[in-house]
Structure 1
Amino acid sequence: MLNNKSVLITGGTGSLGKALTREIFAKWPEVKKVIVFSRDEQKQFQMAQEYPEDKFPQIRFFIGDVRDEKRLVRAFNGVDYVIHAAAMKHVPIAEYNPDECIKTNIGGAQNVIHAAFEAGVKRVVALSTDKACAPINLYGATKLTSDKLFIAANNISGSNPIKFSVVRYGNVMGSNGSVIPFFLSRRTEGVLPITDPDMTRFNISLKGGVNMVMYALEHAWGGELFVPKIPSYRIMDVAEAIGPDCEKPIIGIRPGEKVHEEMITASDSYNTYDLGKYYVILPSTPKWKISDFVNQFSAKKVKAGFNYNSGENHDWETVDSLRKLISEHVDSTFKY
């Protein structure tokens, strides 16, 4: 799919961006170019050490901010596929810095769309979050707006064959700022602070996130929002898996947090289909026939009123499975 193609990843020095880069070089060694676009020069410098020019001549590191449309247009020149992973994502920080969150997550999305049209990009896959579903915090609201912008971009493409799609998933295990690395760093102190003992979250590995992006990049018709079928975990099980002997004081929910996350609302159910491994929320006004899509992917309509909630999931991680996943995907030296 990506051999002889040029791919650009915004937010390319983040956890998922680095995982995507590894996957692309492993599966498509004849990729024409991989452009890592981000605003953090230190992270770019560190990542460049992993990809020396003599072994990875196709890689390029491009300093830039998604808030800068002109810079994006220049970076997108000659690019076939764009994966938009850049975002301001920390919920409490977004609550206290709303203007900055809006500029990056909404303004940045608009800039990516405009630059993709301007530069002749063929496909764009944008990353979403479970917090964009029925949002109660600013981060989720900005990501929901971003999702709507990317989906609607297909309606203004005219005869341009470009396709925009979105992937939405829950917490990426081991990603920067997530609870598992936080607990791992705190367990030596003997205290793991718990926001709410009833809290649950969806869980996906970096590999799972990468696979989903690649699926959308290859199969999207334009306007879909893909959701993976993934397990949930209970925050108390995560704490028990990492620090069974630690104190676990209840500190209360942080600003903008939910007890349970949702990825598909009951209102979404009327446009939601089951693809087997994934769910997909189809656009209300697609440029193609829904019947053709259903036939192509053997898609099955979900029941009216269906919703996908981390607290009512049918698939759960256990303390033992979490320990195994942490040692496999987060910290190979992890012992309990």
Structure 2
Amino acid sequence: MIATSEMLYSFFSNQSILVTGGTGSIGRGIVEALLPYRPKRVVVFSKDDSKQYMMKLSYENDPIVSFCLGDIRDYESVENATVGMDMVFHTAALKQVSVCENFPYETVKTNIIGSENVIRAAIRNGVKKVVNISTDKVVNTYNALGASKLIAEKLFASANAYPTNLQTRLCTIRFGNVIGSRGSVLPIFLDQVSRGKPITVTNRKMTRFFITIPEAVDRMMKAAYYCQGGETFVLKMKSFRISELADAVCDYFGESGVRPRIQTIGLRPGEKFHEELIFDCERERVLEDDALYAVLSTEADATGTYLHFKPVSIHTYRSNQGVHVTKDELKSIVAQVHQKYRVRHGGGSE
């Protein structure tokens, strides 16, 4: 059945929910989106005390939101944070391709061991639902980020069959570039412009999937509702050429001042020209609704929760073959993200 607002309210209301990586762009978005559903409590779990302090200022008068300092690499801190939780949204990860390429051992400790810690703690404490946030980098990967997140996906799927798992249902949601999130391509372009530097593009033919933070958060909450255990949810997303986004940034700033220039620097280690979101081996197990694909586990029951999903035949789901965003849409996105960037860096107010 379709997850309506009323159903989501009933699902999240009076629940205790842990958000790992809760001070990040996606984590903050989840916290904000949960509050209208009146959960019992929302616990923000992260290792950055400075970000926690700043985020606390936004919620100091809200008794529902609390903060827990800890690191997913440390099982004990994760286990303690998970006590009494009904749900977990696992967003904490190393997410930059270049960082993961340069520090693969650190990537393993965070993205793989950290994920296993979340799984073990959730099962031990009887958490009902766990949603793991993944990336398009996992599909046909050849970089450390994608490899680590692929192992994490496997861990979350297999945990549904652990002998000690009596009630915890775990799933993954996989998506591409979250436009405007920290460390994503658009804020990098805006930072380069603010410092008077050229916009650096690795290759003008490169394409990427994208989704906004509110859209990503909405799909994550629906994934939690639909989760029966072992599924991989894949967001339906538009895509863009990197050159189109760079041109939109140049057009935006060129209207009010000097047009930035673009510099092509070549592919970085681990980067791909185009991204994919569904493996060939998953194509036979895909259902869809208006916003999501659901790649079911082989044991999943496609009735009940998935009654409104329809079987779909997918040949490929690649960023160079999907629905491309229009020039006007890109320009609007640049303007919106730039306004938030100015607020964050002291150049304006909301």
TM range (shorter): over 0.9
Alignment partner, residue 312 of structure 1: 321
Cα distance between partner residues in 1 of 2:155 and 2:291: 26
Are positions 1:75 and 2:84 aligned together? no
TM-score, normalising length: structure 1: 0.92
Q: Which moved further from structure 2: 77-86 or 185-194?
A: 185-194
Matched, 1:227 2:234: yes
Query: Residues 213-252 of structure 1 correspond to what in structure 2 (within 5 A)?
Result: 213-244=220-251, 245-252=259-266
- CA–CA separation in structure 1 for the residues paired with 2:158 and 2:25: 28
- What pairs with 1:191-206 in structure 2 (closer than 5 Å)? 191-206=198-213
Matched letter for residue 251 of structure 1:
I
In the alignment, does 2:301 pair up with 1:301?
no
Tell me which amino acid in the other structure corresponds to 1:65: D
Match of 2:14 among 4, 15, 18: 4
**2:275 aligned with 1:261:** yes
**Which stretches of structure 1, 4 residues or longer, exceed 3 Å deviation after superposition?**
none
Provide the residue aligned with 1:178 in structure 2.
Answer: 184
Number of matched pairs:
324
Partner of 1:32 in structure 2? 40
User: Which residue number corresponds to residue 295 of structure 2?
Assistant: 281
1:96 aligns with: 102
Contact persistence 2:22–2:44 (CA under 8 A): yes
Write the letter of the residue equivalent to 1:254.
R
**Contact kept in structure 1, 2:187 and 2:337, CA below 8 Å:** no
Query: Percent same amino acid at aligned positions?
Result: 37
Which stretches in structure 1 are left out of the alignment for 5+ residues? none
Residue 33 (structure 2) pairs with residue 13 (structure 1): no
Task: Write out per-residue CA displacement over residues 278-298 of structure 1, whole angstroms, 9 at most, x where no aligned residue.
Answer: 1111113x2x434x25x8423
Amino acid at match of 1:14: G
Please name the residue that 2:332 is paired with.
324
> For the residues of structure 1 that align with 2:23 and 2:165, how far apart are their CA atoms?
34
Q: Are the equivalent residues in 2 in contact too, given 1:10–1:36 (CA < 8 A)?
A: yes
RMSD of the alignment, in Å?
Answer: 1.7
The Cα of 1:249 is off from its aligned counterpart by: 1.7
The aligned residue for residue 256 of structure 2 is none
Contact 1:37 1:62 in 2 (8 A): yes
- TM-score when scaled to structure 2? 0.88
Measured after TM superposition, the shift of residue 320 of structure 1 is: 1.7
Provide the rounded CA distance (Å) in 2 between the counterparts of 1:126 and 1:159.
Answer: 17
Tell me the amino acid that sits aligned with residue 290 of structure 2.
G
Residue type of the alignment partner of 1:98: P
- CA separation in 2, counterparts of 1:318 and 1:143? 31
CA-CA distance at 1:187 after TM superposition: 2.0
Query: Alpha carbons of 1:222 and 1:333: their partners in 2 closer, same or farther (altered >3 Å)?
Result: closer
The 5 A counterparts of 1:29-68 are 30-52=38-60, 55-68=61-74
SS in 2 for 1:280: strand
Q: Is the 8 A contact 1:187 1:243 kept in 2?
A: no
How far did 1:47 drift?
0.5
Report how far residue 300 of structure 1 moved. Answer: 2.8
